[in-house]
Each structure stands twice: as C-alpha cells, then as structure tokens.
Amino acid sequence: MTPTVLTPILDLLDLAGIALFALSGAVLAARLRQTFVTMAFFALVTGVGGGTVRDLLIRAPVFWIDDPWVAAVCLGTALIAWFTPVSWWEGKGFAYADGAGLAAYAVLGSAKALAYGIPPVPAALMGVITGCVGGIIRDVVAGRPSIIMSPELYVTPAALTSALSVAGMLAMAPLGLPGEIAWGLAFACGFALRSAAIRWEWGLPSYGGERAGSD
C-alpha cells in the first residue's frame, strides 16, 4: 500500500517549491542567452531534480511522472521567464523567493521520507536532497560553480528545516498533534536562517581559512 503523504499544505508547498526552483533554472538559462527549449529543460531539471533523486532513494514512485501538474508548472515558469526581462529576477528579492522554495522542499522531502518508513536521520537527509539537488544539477549542466561550493549558508538552512521537521513530527505524533505545526515551525526557522544569510551575507568558515588569512 502506498503511504498517504500529501495534505493540502504539503500539496501547496510542493507546487510552490517546484515553481520557484523551476523559475530559477529558467532565469539562469535566460541569463546565458539560451533558446526556449533549453530554458524549459533547465526549468524541469531544477524543479524536479531533488524530488526525483529522493523518490528513487526511498523507493517511492517518482512524484512527477503521474502528476499532470508538475511538468505544466515547470513549462509555465519557463514561459514566464521567456516573456519577461531578466532584470525582473535580479537582486535579493529573487534570492528570498528561492530561500522560501528551499525551506518548503526540505519540509516536503523529510515528511515524505518519514511517511515511507525511512529512519529519522536519513529522512532528514532526504529533505536536504530534495531542497538542494535540483539546483546542483542546474549548475552542473550550466557549467558554473554550484552554490554548495561557496561558504554561503544554503545547505545549512535546508538541514535545519529538515531536522526540525523530522524532530517535530516525531515529537507530536504520540501527542496526537497535527504535523502542520511541525512543518510550519520548521519552514519558518529554515527560511529565517536563509533570509539572514542573504541579508547579512552569513557564511561558514572555510577549511584553513584562518591560516590562509594570516599568510
């Protein structure tokens, strides 16, 4: 029997995350002056890449194969990017939107993994994979350094969101409390950390950074 994973809230988070990540892929293709076919491809792989890897790892049906809305959302965001100036998507506003998508996907990925019987630590890692892998695939295909190769806080907010989501769900289940509380708190904390990193340019120290700075 296939686990029942999605609720109206997770459905909304799923489509929002797909749209935001797909848009980031399409906008990158626009910056590179690519064709619409390339733009649509970037939108698709960025939007569904993390969720596809997650579903393969947890041995679940790949989520977008039987869902008519997912590919349509990716194509729709590619159309939006094609008919709008790239300047609309510049600046920190778009980075904040991407951060919201990251947190949403981290919640969804960890919740789905738990629903499929994955233990807590791997389930939290599935949230990180769901939130980050699509962007990694996008950057690799584009031939540019991925954001995970910089000290900027990106994976860390996804990890915080996933860990809080899993911990909250496990703590609230015996009490009969709805998972929506854990999802909302996890999303808020992860998005707040990512927003702070964007606003104040927070980053993690690099290996050997202190020694390199003193040379």
Q: At what angle do helices 36-57 and 120-142 cross, to 10 degrees?
A: 160
Question: According to the model, what pLDDT value does residue 170 have?
Answer: 93
Question: According to the model, what pLDDT value does residue 130 have?
Answer: 94
- Scanning the chain, the segments in alpha helix (DSSP H) are 8-31, 36-57, 68-82, 92-115, 120-142, 155-172, 179-200, 209-214
Name the residue with higher pLDDT: 88 or 160: 160
Question: According to the model, what pLDDT value does residue 209 have?
Answer: 64
Above 90 in pLDDT, residue 48?
yes
Q: Which of 51-60, 102-111, 136-145, 169-178 has the lowest mean pLDDT?
A: 169-178
Question: According to the model, what pLDDT value does residue 68 have?
Answer: 86
Structure confidence by residue, pLDDT tens digits, 152-206: 899 999 999 999 999 999 998 888 777 788 999 999 999 999 999 999 989 888 8
Q: Show me where the domains of the chain are located.
A: 8-205
Hunting for tokens 């991925």 — which residue is that? Answer: 146
Query: Percent of the chain having pLDDT more than 70?
Result: 92
Cα–Cα distance for residue pair 162/128, rounded to 1 Å = 7
Hunting for tokens 């990193």 — which residue is that? Answer: 197
- Scanning 58-154, the segments in alpha helix (DSSP H) are 68-82, 92-115, 120-142
Question: According to the model, what pLDDT value does residue 214 have?
Answer: 33
Average pLDDT over residues 40-67: 94
Q: For residue 187, give every residue at least 6 positions away whose Cβ sits within 8 Å of its Cβ, in sequence order, or none.
A: 13, 103, 104, 107, 161, 165
Name the residue with higher pLDDT: 12 or 24: 24
DSSP state, 203?
A: B
Write down the pTM of the prediction. 0.88
Structure confidence by residue, pLDDT tens digits, 105-135: 999 999 999 999 999 999 999 999 999 999 8
Per-residue pLDDT band at 1 (split at 50, 70, 90):
very low
What is the average pLDDT score of the chain?
88
Please choose, from the candidates 210, 204, 92, 209, the residue with its C-alpha nearest in 3D space to the C-alpha of residue 159: 204
